[in-house]
Structure 1
Amino acid sequence: MTPDLGPRADRPVAGRPDPAVADELGMTVYDVARDLRRDVEDVRLPLPVDGARDADASRSRLISQLDEHLLPRLRELSSPAIVVVAGSTGAGKSTLYNSLLGEEVSRAGVLRPTTREPVLAYNPLDREVVHEGPATEASRVVYHEAVPRGTALLDAPDLDSFLSENRTTAQQLLEAADLWLFVTTAARYGDALPWQALSRATERGASVAMVLNRVPAETLTTIRADLMLRLREHGMTDVPLFVVPDVGPHEGLLDAEVVRPVRRWLTLLAGPERSRAVIVRTLKGALDALPAWVTSLADAVDAQGEAARRIRHAVEKERPAAEKLARDGVAAGVVAGASVEARWRELSGTAKLDRVKVKNATVRSTKRAGRRREEALTGLRSDVEAAAIRTLTAAGARVEERLRAVLTAPGAPAGGLAVLPENAARTEAREKTVTASVAGWTAQAADVVTALDGAGERVTAAVKAFGQHGLGTLLLASAAGSDDAERLLVRVLGDTHREAVTALRDDLADRAAAVVGGELDAILTALDSPDLADDAASGLRVRLAELRRLT
């Protein structure tokens, strides 16, 4: 019979499970699986702690199982049971597939990979109950009378195909299947690939049968016994095993008698009720397997939170000493430095700042001379600002370097490297923060001078001699640690200015501590992610409790 290429049925409304699910498994199963899919999708494991990579891979497999099998199958329980014929390159699965149907529907031959396009065959009488899903979307769908009713035969690409897209498709189709018919050979049944695939099936609770192909008659008993032992060792004692004898080099289909046991077994699965039993058994197996997966994933999420707590503790432990060091540096009057001293010497020669006249403890000057001094002091203010920026920037960089050492040295908290900011970005952010902070500091000088202006004749005279902006510059320079500026202020103001200078210096110390705190907070902010919260795994734990009530 020539295969009938049938049209695909329209996909049912998403999110509306098959009514039969209520009878077979209970309506709540679909809701739990859907909610689990959402919560698993939301899981992120940002810290590279032990086990995170494996947990993330497990997360991806769990999503695939939910997307490719559980949710589609729960929506359409009445659709035929999908039996995927899978195996490694050269195992003869396409030949077996075609032999079961009695004609060449899926291309088989010596060129590899043989199976480039998956083929999914249904019985024509099942046309009305076939619904689109992952398997139909990935395959060429045919209708063939040799397929037992209530089942569908799927010939998948080689699991070890040298084409990556074939390998990916094969894995997706395995996830979509209700039953795996795994084909291997007498020469290759001991390879790692068959057992990796079978372990994957066991992990997800899939129903499995196995075909041992091309078995020489003289070694049949030995090989069959060895394979049965291996299946028992893997906890797969109930797996049906079919042995296909080696018929030597040949082309075309296998003799009907050779594949009769497999065909008889497929016939036993036929019919809506029996095939549904296979579907439900695999679904229940998959559901039974979910708690272990979800527990492992939830534990991995908790491990992320614990690692974040350790990192946070290590960072916070550095805060008191780092902030104190930054404050002490400013309080010690080391901000001004050589550049401010050089500028002062220059101004002493050009603007003659040190030669202002003071009579009866009050500075004497004309307004014109005061404007010249104020203009000359503009350069000094720029130098004070630049010195303050260098000091605060250095304090921040020093803390960043310290934190990098704390989080990367032997014995450091796991995952710390992942939350360290990128150097260039952190440097740029620090420069912006420091520049804005110092600008805010210098801007306060005007308010300080205004507050002093009502303190008496000496302050009024000083404003006249240096200008309001110039007198503010002298206060800033003194607060930054310039002894020259401080001596001049004592000459023209006595002790009137000391409280103002102390306030400016304390403010700069606070700003230095804030810059240092910003370095610490840059890491702590990265740890504030919901993925690292103490209750990040709570959604998974809720789903886990629901699954355990179901299974």
Structure 2
Amino acid sequence: MTPSLETRASRRAARKAGADAAEEIGLTVHDVARDLRRDVAAVELPLPIDGAQEAAASRDRLLAQLDEHLLPRLAELSSPAVVVVAGSTGAGKSTLYNSLLGEDVSDAGVLRPTTREPVLAFHPADADLVAPGPVTELSRVVQHEGVPRGTALLDAPDLDSFVQQNRSTAHQLLEAADLWLFVTTAARYGDALPWQALARATERGASVAMVLNRTPKETLTTVRGDLLQRLRDHGMTDVPLFVIPDVGPHEGLLDPSVVAPVRRWLTLLAGPDRSRAVIVRTLKGALGALPGWVTSLADAVEAQREATHVLRRTVTDEIPAAERLARDAVAAGVVAGASVEARWRDLSGAVGVDRVKVRADRARSTRRAGRAREAALDELRGDVVAAASRTLVAAGARVEERLRGVLAGPGAPAGGEAVVPDGGARAAAREAGTPPVVQEWASRADALVEQARTSGFGSGGTEGGSTDGGAPGGGEQEVARVQSAAKAFGPRGLATLLLASAAGSDDAARVLTRVLDTLADGPVNELRVDLADRAAAVVDAEVQAVLDELGPPEPADDAAAGLRVRLAELRRLT
């Protein structure tokens, strides 16, 4: 086979390989990239642990890369390769751009910023192939025959523009491009910005070429050699470098001979097969860079999961001691307090609550006197309910303060400050939520008395009750005794005495012993246990508020697992 035939055969093989690669990318990697985008978007990094801020920035950039370049490009491989002309302020980007087209298409001049509106130019014959996307949405789109077929030239705003929106747009367009044509000058190629931008391109696997503009003839060799060495030092040995000499003060387009090397290079990229090869190469580079990003993001998610588990364990470890403290406060009989004692003294003098006569084990009173005592005992009930509410609120406040200490105090686990209870919000929640809970407790006493008036304070069985057809729960004598007490104090008044005794009032307990003997022990103990349970529930609510801030543990696990699956798919396909 002659050399020319060999060359043509190798070119045909290369074109076929590029087409096969493009088809493979379009049909398989697009699905993986789409699933990856979904999983990355679902990642949440709420805890301010080490590396979380950097991971969030990486997540946002990965989403931008997927949204602005990979997914649109994978969805439409036949569209022209986007070549973005980028660089620093005053590098001569727009002048170079216009000179390559042979016409003033993009604004150029001495005023800064020059490029206020990105310009995307493509050959008219490629109009049907240009796919809508971030680049077309952000740019002024023009058709121009000076653009080689199969490519689209994009003039982007300055990367260091003093207008923040311009900087943001420039970086967004760079993420969407297939190839970067980076323009710098002999005076500014050593600045940090060009190398930061080039490192960004290398990181995402983009194809890059560089233009050294306005290079004085007397220093051209030295500057070019220094720049090539810098490129090698940054691992960019394959980056094409074009040097444009300094032509002195001028207006308008550069002479065609000055930009001819760049134009020839663009022409070499032109054509469906060649431009597709550029696209596929950039796509493969971008896809090859994804595993590192995804690995870092998955590691960050797992770090969040571990921190969440530690915080969850730290918080839940507080529950047993806090519940025990709340229950003990109720069991110790300290709920009633001074306000209940003071109210009892008033009742004793006003309506003689503690002077009800008892004969033959039954309280003796008229219904009228019982209604008077019942009305007076309503004031005592208000004090008991208020005292119980204060006890439960105080139990919650103690837990909140304890949680604040273990989450944000010395030795607190990483991220704890992010879930420290909001003192104002928790106090408001306790103040609003506790009174209904205590009212339910008080209603429970009313229900016990109502039941006892027909079946006694028994459990509803025959144990200790009548066997001759009497009341099923506690026997006729017990029922009669309860009914006499309910007559002397009123049903609601008797329930109030049960509540006060359960809350720790010795005065109420003595009255109940006089009129009911030991019959009241069961309901009083039941009410005390009930109140203790409610105090423990208040504790649990404070803990649950923090656990809710942490969120369920499973999503973090699922997010990391999903990212690992996408990572395995990427590695298999790339």
SS at match of 2:318: helix
SS at match of 2:425: helix
CA contact (8 A) 2:42 2:559 kept: no
Q: Which amino acid aligns with 2:537?
A: A
Q: Hey, what does 2:264 align to over in structure 1?
A: 264
Q: Hey, what does 1:129 align to over in structure 2?
A: 129
Q: Hey, what does 1:148 align to over in structure 2?
A: 148
Q: Distance in 2 between matches of 1:128 and 1:300?
A: 43
Q: Does 1:461 align with 2:484?
A: yes
SS at match of 2:248: coil
CA contact (8 A) 1:301 1:532 kept: no
Q: Distance in 2 between matches of 1:201 and 1:346?
A: 85
Q: Hey, what does 1:426 align to over in structure 2?
A: 426
The one of 535, 541, 545 aligned to 2:558 = 535
Q: Hey, what does 2:112 align to over in structure 1?
A: 112
Shift of 1:550: 0.4
SS at match of 1:496: helix
1:38-61 alpha-carbon deviations (Å, 9 max, x no partner): 111222212121111111111111
1:427-467 alpha-carbon deviations (Å, 9 max, x no partner): 22222332222111111112222344332443222111101
What is the TM-score normalised by the length of structure 2?
Answer: 0.90
The correspondence of residues 23-172 of structure 1 with structure 2, limited to 5 A, is: 23=23, 25=25, 27-172=27-172
SS at match of 2:251: coil
1:144-179 alpha-carbon deviations (Å, 9 max, x no partner): 222111111111111111222211221121111110
Q: Distance in 2 between matches of 1:494 and 1:104?
A: 106
1:84/1:398 CA distance change after superposition, 3 Å: same
Shift of 1:233: 2.3
Structure 1 stretch 245-254 or stretch 499-508: which is displaced more?
245-254
Q: Does 1:505 align with 2:528?
A: yes
Q: Hey, what does 2:537 align to over in structure 1?
A: 514
CA contact (8 A) 1:20 1:77 kept: no
Q: Which amino acid aligns with 2:415?
A: G
1:119-143 alpha-carbon deviations (Å, 9 max, x no partner): 1111223233223222122212222
1:202-230 alpha-carbon deviations (Å, 9 max, x no partner): 11110001111122223323322222222
1:323/1:530 CA distance change after superposition, 3 Å: closer
Q: Hey, what does 1:275 align to over in structure 2?
A: 275
Q: Hey, what does 1:471 align to over in structure 2?
A: 494
The one of 470, 474, 480 aligned to 2:503 = 480
1:344/1:436 CA distance change after superposition, 3 Å: same
Q: Which amino acid aligns with 2:31?
A: D
1:23-47 alpha-carbon deviations (Å, 9 max, x no partner): 3535111111111111112222121
The correspondence of residues 383-462 of structure 1 with structure 2, limited to 5 A, is: 383-453=383-453, 454=456, 455-462=478-485
1:534/1:40 CA distance change after superposition, 3 Å: closer
Q: Hey, what does 1:523 align to over in structure 2?
A: 546
The count of residues paired between Structure 1 and Structure 2 equals 533
Q: Hey, what does 1:307 align to over in structure 2?
A: 307
Q: Which amino acid aligns with 2:201?
A: A
The correspondence of residues 258-407 of structure 1 with structure 2, limited to 5 A, is: 258-407=258-407
Q: Distance in 2 between matches of 1:267 and 1:26?
A: 25
SS at match of 2:449: helix
Q: Distance in 1 between matches of 2:305 and 2:110?
A: 53
Q: Distance in 2 between matches of 1:252 and 1:533?
A: 57
1:41-92 alpha-carbon deviations (Å, 9 max, x no partner): 2222121211111111111111111111111111221111111000111111
Structure 1 stretch 473-482 or stretch 441-450: which is displaced more?
441-450
Q: Hey, what does 2:199 align to over in structure 1?
A: 199
Structure 1 stretch 283-292 or stretch 120-129: which is displaced more?
120-129
1:475-521 alpha-carbon deviations (Å, 9 max, x no partner): 10010011111111122222221121111111111110111011111
1:71-115 alpha-carbon deviations (Å, 9 max, x no partner): 111122111111100011111111111111122111100111000
Structure 1 stretch 143-152 or stretch 179-188: which is displaced more?
143-152
CA contact (8 A) 1:214 1:247 kept: yes
Shift of 1:532: 5.0
SS at match of 2:491: helix
Shift of 1:248: 2.4
SS at match of 2:210: strand
Q: Which amino acid aligns with 1:547?
A: L
Q: Distance in 2 between matches of 1:460 and 1:137?
A: 84
Q: Distance in 1 between matches of 2:558 and 2:126?
A: 48
Q: Hey, what does 1:11 align to over in structure 2?
A: none
Structure 1 stretch 429-438 or stretch 92-101: which is displaced more?
429-438
Q: Hey, what does 2:13 align to over in structure 1?
A: none
Q: Which amino acid aligns with 2:545?
A: A
SS at match of 2:518: coil
Structure 2 stretches of 5 or more lacking a match?
1-18, 457-477
CA contact (8 A) 1:119 1:140 kept: yes
Q: Which amino acid aligns with 1:129?
A: L
Q: Distance in 2 between matches of 1:252 and 1:541?
A: 54
Structure 1 stretch 458-467 or stretch 323-332: which is displaced more?
458-467
CA contact (8 A) 1:212 1:242 kept: yes
Q: Distance in 2 between matches of 1:416 and 1:335?
A: 33
Q: Distance in 2 between matches of 1:45 and 1:531?
A: 14
CA contact (8 A) 2:301 2:556 kept: no
Q: Distance in 2 between matches of 1:191 and 1:442?
A: 77
1:322-356 alpha-carbon deviations (Å, 9 max, x no partner): 00000000000000011111111111111111222
Structure 1 stretch 44-53 or stretch 462-471: which is displaced more?
44-53
CA contact (8 A) 2:123 2:144 kept: yes
SS at match of 1:25: helix
Q: Which amino acid aligns with 1:68?
A: E
SS at match of 1:182: strand
Q: Distance in 1 between matches of 2:505 and 2:302?
A: 54
CA contact (8 A) 1:479 1:505 kept: yes
Q: Hey, what does 1:223 align to over in structure 2?
A: 223
CA contact (8 A) 2:403 2:421 kept: no
Q: Hey, what does 2:4 align to over in structure 1?
A: none
Q: Which amino acid aligns with 1:207?
A: S
Aligned-residue RMSD, C-alpha = 1.7
CA contact (8 A) 2:108 2:115 kept: yes
Structure 1 stretch 372-381 or stretch 154-163: which is displaced more?
154-163
Q: Distance in 1 between matches of 2:309 and 2:69?
A: 37
Q: Hey, what does 1:253 align to over in structure 2?
A: 253
Shift of 1:361: 3.9
Q: Distance in 2 between matches of 1:450 and 1:288?
A: 76
Structure 1 stretches of 5 or more lacking a match?
1-18
CA contact (8 A) 1:214 1:245 kept: yes
1:524/1:24 CA distance change after superposition, 3 Å: closer
Q: Hey, what does 1:14 align to over in structure 2?
A: none
